[in-house]
Chain A
Amino acid sequence: MSTIAVEALTKRYGTVTAVSDLSFELAPGRITGFLGPNGAGKSTTIRLLLGLAAPTSGRATINGRPYRELRDPLRRIGALIDPNVFHPGRSGRTALRIAARPARIPGQRVEEVLELVGLGGAAHRRAGGYSQGMRQRLALAAALLGDPETLVLDEPANGLDPEGVHWLRGLLRGLAAEGRTVFVSSHLLAELAQTVDDVVLINHGRLVAAGPMGDLLGRAGAASLEGFFLDATSPDAPPAHPAPTRARSLS
């Protein structure tokens, strides 16, 4: 069974359609890049997947269930959707302890993930004094708290220095090698090209392309992921998938 399935997902805000009839599936053990220009609907799709917003129609599921129906969700799916979700007056350690408590995740695991993301020495400091890169690492630590089988990461490399980006790439590769599903949204195409196995590309809320990166680039005759992205999202580009669109399984 795919870990994440998005089925005919649509989200409208008044007259604006943020996500339109979007469908794709992800399989375990793969890193999938979620691409699209600004305003394409990536963050909205992720918020719909995580139950932070309700779809107008369609559904997004994790192991067959909407996020809001998951029991112990932190142990199923870890999410980094915003590095600025920590109270500035609380220490990094306390922020994670608060996040861990509803799932009964022990304090030892909090210390493990703090060390894993390189914040062990700064865990006692207030999150308000963290750099953006440190907040990003803290958010990543929160995503890893429950040792989940699926990770959803929205712009995880934002604010990281080159060493941090290199470290993140290794971490994601390692997580996928353990059989986990990793879903990464990012604008850093050169970085993504070194990391992802598969690609889901959306524009104007609709699916443009989905599949293994090598296949997509080969079919499009593109030399790079950036070239493929620019061609596929240019105003002159023909629709890659006539509506209604449905990505084939990426497994």
Chain B
Amino acid sequence: MRSLVSAELLKLRSTRSAWIPLAAALALAVVAVLASTTAAGPDATPHLSPATLPGLLRGSGGQLLDGAVLLCWIVLSAGEFRHRTAVTTFLAEPNRLRVVSAKLIAAALTGAAVGLLAEALGAATSAAALSAHHVPLAWSQPGVLGAVTAVPLLAALFGMLGAGLGLLLRHTAAALGLALMWVFVIEGIIPALTHEPGIIRWLPEAAANAVLHGASPAATTLPAGAALAVLAGYAAVLAGAGAALTVRREIGTTTG
């Protein structure tokens, strides 16, 4: 399994359209902190204080980072069929469940690593920016550990969601389109369509927000632990469906 995961990570490193979004998300992790701290000051709004730190760390991750990891693994997994590299992949390892497992592990590792790196960059930038504003750094406050834990966890799950979606649809543009439609349209209209406003808390984007920011006072979101479990459930369902179809489907070639 280690060699299969290693092959998947080599595919990532050698596919520009997969790693450029990750690099961009890491750059934005720094920019997000700089933008927040440059616009703010001790006398301005928002007010910079030691309590600002967890928010800055959460801002280094969040939707952009999750979206980048999702995009990366959609490109990699659906791209196997677009470029027909699935042929060489399944000739080298005909046990397709092992290949799918390796992809999911590599996707989770990528998300966790990029999430940790984003938090490291966010922490370093936050320390420099807050120090420049003479704001004391309070690393031991509870929100810091929560952000540093939640960001890599979420990114790992979004990596698995991307890999599962790519395997399920096997069409890069369709998978990317569906992901964007989900974030910007579908998740927003589901409560209206179902006449169940409370259903939103069970949907992926809302669950991810709940993991990152905690439950809202109005109880419109799930507790962070439950939201994480819901998101893991979505990842498991997509990965399972992608795996089932990958095992059953035939692999075509251009020659017949």
Contact = CB atoms under 8 A, between A and B. Distances in A.
B10 A44 contact: no
A54 B83 contact: no
A68 B91 CA distance: 9
Interface residues of B, number: 29
A103 B4 CA distance: 9
A155 interface: yes
Contact of B250 (A42, A53, A74, A102): A53
Given A88-B83, A90-B15, A98-B10, A52 B251 contact: yes
Contact of B87 (A70, A82, A104): A82
B3 interface: yes
A52 B86 CA distance: 10
A222 interface: no
Interface stretch (B92-100, B116-124, B139-147, B225-233): B92-100
B184 interface: no
A150 B48 CA distance: 69
A86 interface: yes
B95 A68 contact: yes
Contacts of B38: none
A87 B83 contact: yes
A17 interface: no
Given A68-B95, A98-B14, A102-B4, A154 B88 contact: no
Given A68-B94, A73-B94, A94 B14 contact: yes
Given A86-B83, A102-B3, A103-B92, A154 B251 contact: no
Contacts of B194: none
A52 B3 contact: no
Chain A CB within 10 Å — which of B7, B16, B250, B255 has the most?
Answer: B255
26 contacts: A47-B251, A47-B253, A52-B90, A52-B91, A52-B251, A52-B253, A53-B250, A69-B94, A73-B92, A73-B93, A74-B91, A81-B253, A85-B85, A87-B83, A87-B85, A88-B83, A89-B14, A89-B15, A90-B15, A91-B14, A95-B88, A98-B7, A98-B11, A99-B88, A101-B4, A142-B88
